[in-house]
């Protein structure tokens, strides 16, 4: 998932913003959904995409760690997966030299 957000310590990051990329891995039992073939029996991935996008675009934080932990808490508490891994990348961070991205990874439950 990719979103534009205004997270960072510097004033420039908060004014100009950056592209953030988010990976979400969830562990949950898919057997019921596979048998029923019904969206109500699984986690709606489009809804997860909207939740993550709203979180990144409607908030401002200093640290990418805060963004990753907030997304993980939100998904874990709303969708209750058995396990969860969230990776947040800030693309082209404002460091001297060349760096493609910084990445923070956090987990919940059994992954």
Which amino acids are annotated catalytic? 90
The whole-angstrom separation of Cα 29 and Cα 44 is: 14
Q: Which pair of structure tokens corresponds to residue 57? A: 């675009």
Give the chain's count of helices (H) and strands (E): 4, 4
Q: Report which of 109, 102, 18 is spatially closest to residue 68, judged by C-alpha positions.
A: 102
Handedness of CA 62, 6, 86, 99 (dihedral sign): negative
């Amino acid at each position: 998932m990719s979103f534009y957000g205004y997270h960072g310590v510097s004033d420039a990051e908060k004014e100009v913003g950056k592209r953030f990329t988010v990976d979400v891995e969830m562990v949950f039992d898919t057997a019921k959904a596979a048998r029923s073939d019904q969206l109500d029996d699984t986690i709606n991935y489009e809804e997860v995409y909207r939740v993550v996008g709203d979180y990144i675009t409607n908030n401002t934080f200093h640290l990418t760690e805060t963004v990753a932990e907030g997304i993980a808490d939100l998904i874990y508490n709303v969708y209750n997966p058995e396990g969860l891994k969230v990776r947040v990348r800030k693309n082209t961070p404002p460091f001297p030299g060349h760096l493609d991205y910084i990445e923070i990874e956090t987990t919940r439950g059994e992954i």
